[in-house]
Every structure is written in C-alpha cells, then in structure tokens.
Amino acid sequence: MMFLHSCSLAVRCSCFRKPRITIRPFSSSWTARKDATENEPKNSFLLKIWSSSMDCLHSWRVAQAMHFGQPLVYDMSYDQHMSRREMENTVAQLMESEGWNRRAADPFHLHFCGLQPDSAYHRELLNRYGSHTWDQLLITATERSHVELFPQQDLVYLTADSQHVLHTFDHSKVYIIGAMVDRSIHSGVSLANAKRLKLATARLPMDEYLDWDCGAKNLTLDQMIRILSTWKDTGSWQKALEFVPKRKHSGFHQQSRGVTRTTKSQKKKVSLQTVYFGNLREREYRENILEML
C-alpha cells in the first residue's frame, strides 16, 4: 500500500511539473555550409574574365615594346661579386622588376645581357620561373654584352658613384642597370666596369632633390625601374623619387625650404601683430584713464 501511495504522489507531482525545454545547437556541417555560402564570391567568372583580359593587355603592350619600345639593360655580369644569398635576392628583384614593367602603361624592352648559360643567375631564374614560363617571358635574355648589341654612344650606365647627374630623360639612350645586390657595399664596382668599357655614366639626382639622412644611395632593382618608368611617363622627378624609401631621407628640398620660410614669416607676422595690438591696448588704456580723471 505504501508503494502504491508513493507512486500516485509521484504521478500527481509530475502533472504540475514545468516542461523542460532544451535548445540544441545547429550542426557543425550546417554552419560550415552557411559560412562557405556567405564567403563565396559572387559572379567570380567576371573576375576571371577581367583578369585574363588584363593579362592579354599587358602581354600585348610588352610585345609591342619588344619591337618599338625603349631598351632597358640589366648587366648580368656580377655573379662573381656576390654571395649565394645576395644572388638569390638579385633574382627576386629582377622578377619584381619584370612584373612591374609588364604592368606599366609604357613598358621598356628589358634586356638581360651577359646571362651565361648554366650560370648561377641562369639556374636561379629557371628555378624561380620554371623552364616553361622562362621560355615564354617577353624579354631578351642573351649571353652577349650590351656593347655588342647597341652603339656605344647610346649607352648610359646608371651608378650611384658617378659624378654626372641625370637631369632629363633621353628616349634615344639605352640606360644600363647593374644586376647586383651588394650588402657589403663595394663602392665603385659598377663605375669601374663602365669606365673599363668607356661608357657614359650618370646617377639619379637624389642629392639635388632629397634631404638625405643616412645610408648608402644604392637602390634595389625594382625601385630603379619604378623610378625610371614614372620619370619616363611623367617627366617629374618629384613623382619618380617617391619610390625612394622614406627611411633614407626626410623629404624634398623644396618642401623643407618652403616649410622653413613659412614658419619664419608666420613668426614675424605674429610678433608684429603682438607689438601692434600691445601698443593699441596701451593707448586705449591711457585714454580711458584720462577720461576718468
């Protein structure tokens, strides 16, 4: 009897008990499908068409430059002056330069001169590009020297050690850049090479335009082609030298001088205003005192 009574009480209490509501989380597979759907780009086929169209446009411009464009030479005869790490950095900068030139509005006709077969340069380029891509690059890679391809009077070797400043861009000249990354800064290597070949030399007007703070004035290969491309397209050294790293200089000469002059004139103007209004206030104070008396 006691057992039946306890069972009836349990049944009666369960009737008045609040129902338990449990919230089950969504399954991880449904959440993953939702995230994938939200992150999926819309109309991605248009992006593919745009990318392929731009690649065709860039390739067409570079192909035109190989027939009608201005040559730009990279001297590849410095592999014996660099370590293995420096040579790898040089090849990486050459790839950056080739990519920038391919996307330029008016690209150069790039020449890799003095590139010997099976040299350290050649092996690293094949390793980075791949043999198939390397064979399809729209550049001229040759083991011949630049003095064998172009007239000597048209060649200008760009080196930071030159005493001649490059003021204007000459579209009839063939500018040469030494394909070298020299972390030990052996100054004069490219200048000695140009003098040995009896070539004209020039340097970028960085001292004439920039307040140089510290460090060597040697630029990377990709910075050089950015500067030359911008200078060729715009004719402005201010725009071209924007690609010089900001950590090496404190701005352009004209900007710094303008700020100094403005500061001096402002200080002079403020001092004159202070003196003028000071005298005026003193005069008004005296007049008020006389009126009171």
pTM over 0.85: no
Q: What is the pLDDT of residue 94?
A: 95
For the cut 50, the answer to whether the pLDDT of residue 278 exceeds it is no
* Percent of the chain residues past pLDDT 70, beyond the cut: 64
pLDDT score, position 259 = 37
Per-residue pLDDT tens over the stretch 131-179: 999 998 999 999 999 999 999 999 999 998 899 999 989 999 999 999 9
pLDDT at 66: 87
What is the pLDDT, as a whole number, of residue 246? Answer: 83
Do 198 and 233 meet the contact criterion of CB atoms below 8 Å apart? no
Residue count (the chain): 293
What are φ and ψ of residue 12, in 5° steps?
Answer: -65, -40
The pLDDT confidence band at residue 39, using thresholds 50, 70 and 90, is low
pLDDT band at 182 (very low <50, low <70, confident <90, very high): low
How far is the CA of 79 from the CAs of 194, 245, 284, in angstroms?
16, 26, 82
Confidence of residue 5 (pLDDT cuts 50, 70, 90): very low
Is-contact 177 74, C-beta < 8 A?
Answer: yes
User: Is 169 within 8 Å of 232 (Cβ atoms)?
Assistant: yes
What is the mean predicted confidence (pLDDT) over 41-59? Answer: 62
